[in-house]
Structure 1
Amino acid sequence: MSLEFMTVAMFATLVLAITLGHPLAYTLAAVATLFGLIDNGFSIPMLFDMFANNAWGLMNNYTLVAIPLFILMAQLLDRSKVSEALFESLYVVLGGLKGGLGLAVVVVCTVFAATTGIIGASVVAMGLLATPALMSKGYQKELASGIICASGTLGILIPPSIMMVVFGGLTGMKETSVGNLFAGAILPGMMLASMYFIYIFIRCNINPQLGPPISKAEASKYTAAQKWTMTMKSLVPPLALILAVMGTILAGVATPTEAAGLGASGAMILAFASKKLNMTVLKESAYATLKTTSMVMMLFIGGKFFSTVFLGMGGGDVVADLLIGSGMNKWAILAIMMLIVFFMGMFIDWAAILLVTVPIFMPIAMEIGFDPLWFSMLMCVNLQTSFLTPPFGYALFYFKGVAPEGYTMMHIYKGIMPFVLIQLLSLAILSLFPGIVTWLPGIFFGAS
């Protein structure tokens, strides 16, 4: 069989198996096994040796130790109700503005994103906490769902992010180390949160019925000093944790893995300080961490098997020859790669997309002269849309699971569309101005 046929057949088999609903990690490994056997003449020992070496290499990757530590940090923070206290204070501070409660959700999710990085936790927590408040104040259902779902996905981009730990572990390059990725994501993450903030503010000022302010009587219950005290009291603990994690990484004092350990310890201290720490919380957090880490690592192993077989049989060369040999300029090639990632995000989990596309696209991007760190960040921003794009956007279903009665999927689909367009606009801005990504890594780590 020709190499081109094998390449198309391998991808087609993967897509068919996923469409039939088979578990993704096992699907990746099974497709890799089938085509690996075909490619090497059905030599089982040879394929077993290759898979064993790849699995051992993953388990030996020190950077990936950060994954369970960051997940444990997120689980402990979720149970310590940090986001709840912050939302209650911002409810009073920003609620008097048109769209103020929506703005409060964006701020809380931005802070929560910088401390957890777990999308499900952010969307579910804010869905339970903020949706009743938004509905009681007369917010449009579509806008309320769009604000919570879009803001909740900031955790995948704003560091510390599990996705970037996986990305850094996949590439194994100095330019795309976890530290560089974290530094490179700070400004894009803040830019995207600011774009959400500005959009909500402008839209609700144009049409106040979409997001009415709280009553003047409710807004005037507290003095300016009381509002300041409430905000600082709820904001300082998570900011201290962010500084402990990100500050040590950017200062070069700790590796991302060491900083993750510091973050998990800090989250435990915050849970203790808020009187939420007990054996039940510890057991539930540890069990949730075990389940999530196992899922991520199984995906990692399956994806590694798939990419090893695909690249080993020459599939990466076929894709590279197709794109580079087509005669298109590098920006057209970039647009095609981003479109592929965007459309895959409608149907496949972000981890599988990374594991399948990064080994193929990264060499192509470097061959046509793109900065690897900048290209990596474009991939990460693009992958954020995978949580919002129908039909299988995870954030949409997380929200639907906790939404009040009367919410339909159509309300949610309509609500997220402006925010998906904002994400795509941010992708275009980063494409035009690479310095937004590369400036901070250049200051802290001397990256290009």
Structure 2
Amino acid sequence: MAVNEILDLLMFATLCAAILIGFPVAFTLAGVSLLFALIGSAFGVFNLSILGAFPQRIFGTMTNQVLIAVPLFIAMGVLLERSKVAEQLLESMTLLFGRLRGGLGISVCIVGALMAASTGIVGATVVTMGLMALPTMLRHRYDPALAAGTISAAGTLGQIIPPSIVLILLGDVLASSYQQAQLDQGIFSPETIAVGDLFAGALIPGLCLVGLYLVYQILTAWLRPAAMPALSPDDIPAASVGRIWRYLFSALVPPIALIFAVLGSILGGIATPTEAASVGAVGALLLAGLQSDGARRGLLRLGVTSLVGLVALTVLFDLRVTRSEFSVGEGIAIGAAVLLTVLAAAAIAEAIRATIRSDVLQPVMRNTAELTAMVFAILIGAALFAVVFRGLGGDETIRALLEGLPGGVTGAMIVVMATIFVLGFFLDFIEITLVVVPLVAPALMIMGVDPIWLGIMIALNLQTSFLTPPFGFALFYLRGVAPASVRTSDIYRGVMPFIAIQIVALIGVAAFPALATWLPSVLF
């Protein structure tokens, strides 16, 4: 084995070891990269002038339109988490399904799916659901293991159901890897994939996964009624039952409308993910304002209506004002859009005022800044790692290893999926997405793997590793908020059936790639 090949593998092993020891990921990426650049230069297998490409990588990251969606979606998720949307959803679902055996478990799965489509942040969803739903389920004599497993699994749906931070980062990484793979094959006018493709590809597998969770809840309630009892009539006040549909409407419509506005505009080709993320962030701000004390709710509702009207006008009319000619109808539509924009701006100002007074906006902005800074610091470190790793010939080493595996493409995919699954025990999805995926994705794509299918397989795999004992991140999140009566062994035992469901879903997408590729091919 050549010196540069040994350095490639040693570089990756050193990175994993340093992260496991507890060093900050961003600084570990940069430090290990510079160390092995110097070692490679000393052995004459790395040209330090290659590092001149690093500033261009950083500039490319700064000017990447797709990555602007990351802080916007983070802000949207944190706003919804703090605006009691999840609490209202859970209460309304409990009123709807509570009289059924297993109704609380079904409610948690549905709310988890809606929160996943609203926030896209696994940690926030698991913690929020753990604080709200777990005490309620235990109080109504649910089996502790089953309750903990349901909440952990429902909370991880944010990995696969769009809009997901995982899918945004994966989309950017896979787009670069796909272009690199085509250039390596001598294709100098490469095709591209977009985040919207991954969003569309994840929709059917994500909904199928939610369906499997619900089927499991229903079967368990039927086979083990003592583990999932129905709520007694005393637990559901008669007055609440009488107003259930009105309460359901007020609790469900705002988040579902926001989900449709964000995902619908992306999948319908009306907006880019970044533009849709801005709509989502503004919509979440208005919803948070509606939940704040002392807010002028009439103005905020008018603002929400104005946003819906603006989206409708965008779909129905060409609102560009830079044209020299437009019809009377388009002129009226542009005038209406201007009026709606003014109303929406006034409502946004009121939402900002209300959320500041209720002490919601400041922590949201702080959390958003912290999470965004972490993501982009890792992005910069990963860019330096990629420059040095490729300078040492690491991409050729990885390709040779994968192509030399028995079983061809199938064998390579199994090894890559197994590796990502194991790494998911120890590394966060951001590190895996930004460090590991760029190393293996180009080689797999050169071997003929569809990039969208590969992205959905990786996302499902990461979601499974989030649940797997003993190091699954979702388990740690829930352990941190679960009462002392729920043992760690209960959490581990409770997630086992959901891990089996995840594996079934992963095998299903592997066996039927059209589950991931059909919808993008139809929409785009």
SS, match of residue 396 in structure 1? helix
More off after superposition, 129-138 vs 18-27: 18-27
**Equivalent position to 1:246, from 239, 253, 263:** 263
The answer to whether the 8 A contact 1:119-1:395 is kept is yes
Give the whole-Å Cα distance in 2 for the aligned partners of 1:3 and 1:54. Answer: 23
The alignment covers a number of residue pairs equal to 445
SS, match of residue 346 in structure 1? helix
SS, match of residue 151 in structure 1? helix
Q: How far apart are residue 406 of structure 1 and its match?
A: 1.7
For 2:68, the equivalent position in structure 1 comes to 65
For 2:433, the equivalent position in structure 1 comes to 354
For 1:27, the equivalent position in structure 2 comes to 28
**Percent identity, aligned pairs only?**
42
* 1:24-173 → structure 2 map (5 Å cutoff): 24-41=25-42, 46=49, 48-172=51-175
Which amino acid letter does the alignment assign opposite residue 474 of structure 2? A
Give the whole-Å Cα distance in 2 for the aligned partners of 1:245 and 1:368. Answer: 34
The answer to whether the 8 A contact 1:323-1:333 is kept is yes
Q: How far apart are residue 97 of structure 1 and its match?
A: 1.6
Q: Residues 60-114 of structure 1: CA distance to partner in whole angstroms, max 9, x if unpaired? A: 1111000000011111111111111111111111112221101100101111111
Give the whole-Å Cα distance in 2 for the aligned partners of 1:426 and 1:68. Answer: 30
The answer to whether the 8 A contact 1:36-1:47 is kept is no
Give the whole-Å Cα distance in 2 for the aligned partners of 1:341 and 1:385. Answer: 10
SS, match of residue 366 in structure 2? helix
SS, match of residue 114 in structure 1? helix
CA gap 1:435/1:319 in 2 versus in 1, 3 angstroms: same
* 1:326-341 → structure 2 map (5 Å cutoff): 326-341=405-420
Gaps of 5+ in 1: none
Q: How far apart are residue 219 of structure 1 and its match?
A: 4.8
For 1:317, the equivalent position in structure 2 comes to 396
**Equivalent position to 2:460, from 364, 367, 381:** 381
Give the whole-Å Cα distance in 2 for the aligned partners of 1:391 and 1:29. Answer: 29
For 2:282, the equivalent position in structure 1 comes to 265
For 1:232, the equivalent position in structure 2 comes to 249
Give the whole-Å Cα distance in 2 for the aligned partners of 1:191 and 1:322. Answer: 34
The answer to whether the 8 A contact 1:176-1:376 is kept is no
TM-score (norm 1): 0.95
Which amino acid letter does the alignment assign opposite residue 135 of structure 1? L
Which amino acid letter does the alignment assign opposite residue 395 of structure 1? A
Give the whole-Å Cα distance in 1 for the aligned partners of 2:237 and 2:284. Answer: 34
The answer to whether the 8 A contact 1:307-1:355 is kept is no
Q: How far apart are residue 266 of structure 1 and its match?
A: 0.4
Q: Residues 240-269 of structure 1: CA distance to partner in whole angstroms, max 9, x if unpaired? A: 101111111111111100110110000111
SS, match of residue 427 in structure 1? helix
Give the whole-Å Cα distance in 2 for the aligned partners of 1:355 and 1:342. Answer: 15
More off after superposition, 211-220 vs 96-105: 211-220
Give the whole-Å Cα distance in 2 for the aligned partners of 1:406 and 1:294. Answer: 37
The answer to whether the 8 A contact 1:350-1:386 is kept is no
For 2:224, the equivalent position in structure 1 comes to 207
| Runs of 4+ in structure 1 over 4 Å off | 41-45, 222-225
Asked if residue 425 in structure 1 is aligned to residue 514 in structure 2, the reply is no
Q: How far apart are residue 47 of structure 1 and its match?
A: 5.6
Q: How far apart are residue 217 of structure 1 and its match?
A: 4.4
More off after superposition, 98-107 vs 12-21: 12-21
For 1:343, the equivalent position in structure 2 comes to 422
Q: How far apart are residue 222 of structure 1 and its match?
A: 5.4
**Equivalent position to 1:283, from 359, 362, 365:** 362
Q: How far apart are residue 431 of structure 1 and its match?
A: 0.6
Q: How far apart are residue 295 of structure 1 and its match?
A: 0.7
Give the whole-Å Cα distance in 2 for the aligned partners of 1:90 and 1:249. Answer: 28
Give the whole-Å Cα distance in 2 for the aligned partners of 1:225 and 1:307. Answer: 60
Asked if residue 401 in structure 1 is aligned to residue 480 in structure 2, the reply is yes
CA gap 1:44/1:316 in 2 versus in 1, 3 angstroms: closer
The answer to whether the 8 A contact 1:175-1:373 is kept is no
Q: How far apart are residue 416 of structure 1 and its match?
A: 1.3
Give the whole-Å Cα distance in 2 for the aligned partners of 1:58 and 1:100. Answer: 46
Give the whole-Å Cα distance in 2 for the aligned partners of 1:438 and 1:281. Answer: 40
Q: How far apart are residue 203 of structure 1 and its match?
A: 1.3
Question: Alpha carbon RMSD of aligned pairs, Å?
Answer: 1.9
Give the whole-Å Cα distance in 2 for the aligned partners of 1:76 and 1:267. Answer: 6
For 1:7, the equivalent position in structure 2 comes to 8
TM-score (norm 2): 0.81
Give the whole-Å Cα distance in 1 for the aligned partners of 2:199 and 2:41. Answer: 39
| Higher alpha-carbon Rg | 2
